[in-house]
């Protein structure tokens, strides 16, 4: 199964996924696609000889351009790993139950437009939450509204700063995200 990882930023999850599937018999990371030419995730992908494509927002929204890339790389499954653009409906339809996203909170809390990265962790802190976590969910037409596949949580202390919260949540991502991807893909066979 050829997977594409969509990224917008530094790519720690992207690299973790690439390493996890490096010698996998059934899963091949065939492409890393970013909407930002300066995304460090592209450097990480090249280090592992994974093909990369930069597709600015305007091109990403054009069905012919985006679907052509998906066909060129024979993409069967898409993983959003810190990808900050809204996914167009045509791609959601083409990859129904074959595209998942990671969110740095326990959805349905702290999801939706504008809730990404440190915005999420600041909101968790402001609300005085006693725990936070990560959610892996199917991508749907509703931002962060797709069916939840898996969630993992970690306790918080009142002294935790948003940076502390982010660090605790990121440990969960590194530990669980690739395993969840593998389980989902195995379930598609």
Contact 46, 14 (CB under 8 A): no
The DSSP letter of residue 135 is E
Which residue numbers are catalytic? 103
Q: Is the dihedral of CA 108, 109, 115, 118 positive or negative?
A: negative
- Give the whole-angstrom CA distance, residue 3 versus residue 75: 6
- Give the whole-angstrom CA distance, residue 148 versus residue 137: 4
Contact 79, 5 (CB under 8 A): yes
């Amino acid at each position: 199964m050829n997977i594409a990882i969509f990224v917008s930023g530094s790519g720690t999850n992207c690299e973790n996924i690439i390493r996890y599937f490096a010698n996998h018999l059934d899963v091949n990371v065939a492409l890393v696609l970013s909407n930002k030419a300066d995304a460090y995730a592209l450097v990480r992908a090249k280090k592992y000889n994974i093909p990369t494509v930069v597709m600015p927002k305007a091109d990403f929204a054009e069905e012919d351009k985006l679907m052509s890339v998906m066909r060129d790389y024979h993409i069967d499954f898409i993983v959003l790993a810190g990808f900050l653009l809204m996914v167009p409906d045509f791609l959601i339809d083409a990859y129904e139950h074959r595209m998942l996203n990671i969110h740095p909170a326990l959805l349905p809390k702290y999801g939706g437009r504008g809730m990404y990265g440190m915005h999420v962790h600041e909101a968790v802190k402001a609300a005085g939450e006693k725990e936070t976590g990560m959610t892996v969910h199917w991508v749907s037409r509703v931002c962060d509204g797709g069916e939840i596949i898996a969630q993992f949580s970690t306790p918080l202390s009142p002294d935790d700063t948003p940076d502390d919260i982010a660090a605790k949540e990121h440990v969960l991502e590194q530990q669980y995200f690739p395993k969840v991807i593998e389980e989902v893909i195995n379930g598609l066979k």
